[in-house]
């Protein structure tokens, strides 16, 4: 490793390699565990990324890509490895107004990219709570979701092309700006969502949309879960082409974010079984606002909504979204374990009821807080049982119930280290084996983010009681 560090220092020049106490100080994050990297490499170009990986590959030493380090599954954990931090590759290289595309380097912060698109009258729809820290390379590598998946899809739906560096330093440049390009294997999809295990993303071509000129938001109270999907479908019919968000808060979450010490205050009174934040983005403010009002009138007449507030200003919209984004309040039930799951809307109530019953049966004072992007089937489930050492027992319950109904253990956060042993709850043995073959082909020395997503070769593997086909931990 010392020989490699000397070579990297020469390659990257002044400020390009951080070691010792400086590296330990830089390995801090409010979001995730970063561990203790041996060093932090800070390349300034694709060529330098290639040189770093080529040298690490030859030495057989591990490297861990770093973006904004806002992931929640320990995907950037770098103890004993060299962290390859993309913070100096942060430029927006081109915005093509005619083609509605943007070419950016991987270290560009998401919010910066969104603001640059807006300055050109265009729109990058990706929006998530970590927008001010998350980087384009990171959201691509984790296939981030966020608040507008209902209308615009996941990150992979916005990626037209990308450039990535393989473990041996080979640069795969697929910087395609075309929406339609059906020329053999779509290689970019190998790297979207693979969490840096197959290659390091260095540049990305993103598809942009016209900048919306209207925005409406409403905050609603709903008295029964069965009315939520009915309300969603009504909005899809009455607000075609403009509905961009349908966020649902269970009462436990709503009360946390609207009571001290939270800064938010109730928009609607406490006591409703469910609260919905819905948003539209369009091109005619006057007409779109009227359509929102008509849709709400129909929802009220159908008994799907019991109370409603329509935002009349940007400040009021921001206040609504601030409640939804104030996820830090769930720590008030601490210690808590957070989960990001996906399942059919029709299965949500049954899943949560069964999970809550088992939690209370084992920990009578357990808390279960739920909110999420119900429109795309994604729930954030936060469990508190008063015992930090109970993580595995709680995970077994959360994922065991989910496996029985064919849900996903990770809707948008990825696998990383935290969910690796539960991957078999949502993916078949053949799928996992194919992932392993791809990993071995592209990274034969296992230097790229080793141990993330897949068990290292020769490891014990996933927990057998969860991996068994057709059975769950509880079944």
pLDDT averaged over 10-residue windows placed end to end, the chain, 475 residues? 92 95 90 93 98 97 96 95 97 97 98 98 94 96 94 97 98 94 95 98 98 97 98 97 96 98 97 98 96 98 98 96 94 93 97 98 97 94 96 97 97 95 96 97 97 79 38 26
pLDDT number for residue 114: 97
H helix runs in 149-284, sequence order: 149-152, 188-191, 227-238, 251-257
Task: Work out the number of other CB atoms within 10 angstroms of the CB of residue 181.
Answer: 13
Burial of 229 (0-12, 13-18, 19+ CB in 10 A): middle
Which of 312, 332, 330, 474 has its CA nearest to residue 402?
A: 474
Those residues with Cβ within 8 angstroms of residue 39's Cβ, 6 or more apart along the chain or in another chain: 5, 8, 17, 18, 19, 23, 82, 83
pLDDT number for residue 472: 27
pLDDT number for residue 464: 37
* Residue indicated by tokens 């800070």: 42
Q: Between β-strands 274-282 and 209-210, what pairing exists: parallel, antiparallel or unpaired?
A: unpaired
Phi-psi category of 62—alpha, beta or left, where left has phi over 0 and alpha has psi -120 to 50? beta
What six digits make up the tokens of 341?
Answer: 């799951």
Q: What angle separates helix 391-404 from helix 348-362, to the nearest 10 degrees?
A: 150
CA gap 18, 38 in Å, rounded: 9
Contact 449, 82 (CB under 8 A): no
pTM: 0.91
Domains of the chain: 2-85 (3.30.43.10), 92-210 (3.30.465.10), 214-328 (3.30.70.2190), 334-448+461-467 (3.30.70.2740)
pLDDT number for residue 2: 85
pLDDT number for residue 465: 39
Number of H-type helices and E-type strands within the chain: 15, 18
pLDDT number for residue 31: 79
CA gap 470, 404 in Å, rounded: 8
- What 3-state DSSP class applies to 84? strand
H helix runs in 239-337, sequence order: 251-257, 285-301, 314-325
Contact 76, 64 (CB under 8 A): yes
């Amino acid at each position: 490793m010392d020989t490699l560090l000397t070579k990297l220092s020469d390659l990257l020049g002044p400020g390009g390699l951080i070691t010792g106490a400086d590296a330990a100080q830089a390995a801090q994050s409010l979001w995730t565990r970063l561990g203790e990297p041996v060093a932090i490499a800070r390349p300034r170009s694709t060529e330098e990324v290639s040189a770093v990986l080529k040298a690490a590959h030859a030495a057989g030493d591990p490297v861990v890509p770093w973006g904004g380090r806002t992931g929640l599954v320990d995907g950037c954990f770098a103890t004993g490895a060299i962290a390859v931090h993309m913070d100096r590759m942060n430029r927006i290289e081109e915005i093509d107004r005619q083609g509605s595309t943007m070419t950016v380097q991987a270290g560009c912060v998401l919010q910066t990219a969104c603001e640059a698109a807006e300055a050109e009258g265009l729109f990058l729809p990706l929006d998530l709570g970590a927008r001010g820290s998350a980087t384009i390379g990171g959201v691509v590598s984790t296939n981030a979701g966020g608040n507008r998946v209902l209308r615009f899809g996941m990150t992979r739906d916005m990626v037209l092309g990308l450039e990535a560096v393989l473990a041996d330093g080979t640069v795969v440049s697929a910087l395609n700006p075309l929406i339609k390009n059906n020329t053999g294997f779509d290689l970019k999809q190998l790297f979207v969502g693979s969490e840096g295990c197959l290659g390091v993303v260095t540049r990305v071509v993103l598809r942009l949309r016209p900048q919306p000129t209207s925005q409406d938001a409403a905050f609603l109270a709903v008295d029964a879960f069965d009315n939520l999907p009915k309300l969603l479908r009504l909005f899809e019919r009455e607000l075609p082409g403009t509905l961009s968000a349908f966020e649902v808060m269970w009462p436990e979450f709503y009360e946390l974010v609207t009571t001290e010490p939270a800064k938010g205050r109730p928009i609607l009174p406490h006591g409703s079984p469910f609260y919905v934040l819905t948003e539209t983005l369009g091109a005619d403010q006057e007409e779109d606002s009227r359509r929102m009002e008509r849709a709400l009138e129909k929802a009220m007449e159908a008994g799907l909504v019991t109370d409603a507030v329509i935002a009349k200003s940007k400040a009021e919209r921001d206040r609504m979204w601030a409640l939804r984004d104030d996820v830090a309040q769930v720590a008030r039930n601490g210690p808590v374990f957070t989960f990001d799951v996906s399942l059919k809307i029709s299965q949500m109530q049954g899943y949560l009821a069964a999970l809550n019953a088992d939690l209370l049966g084992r920990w009578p004072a357990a808390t279960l807080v739920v909110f999420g992007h119900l429109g795309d089937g994604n729930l954030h489930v936060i469990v508190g049982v008063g015992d930090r050492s109970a993580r595995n027992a709680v995970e077994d319950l959360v994922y065991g119930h989910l496996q029985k109904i064919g849900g996903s253990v990770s809707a948008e956060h990825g696998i990383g280290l935290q969910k690796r042993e539960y991957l078999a709850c949502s993916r078949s043995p053949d799928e996992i084996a194919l992932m392993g073959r791809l990993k071995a082909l592209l990274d034969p020395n296992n230097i790229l983010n080793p141990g993330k997503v897949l068990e290292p070769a020769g490891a014990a593997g996933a927990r057998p009681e969860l991996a068994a086909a057709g059975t769950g931990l509880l079944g």
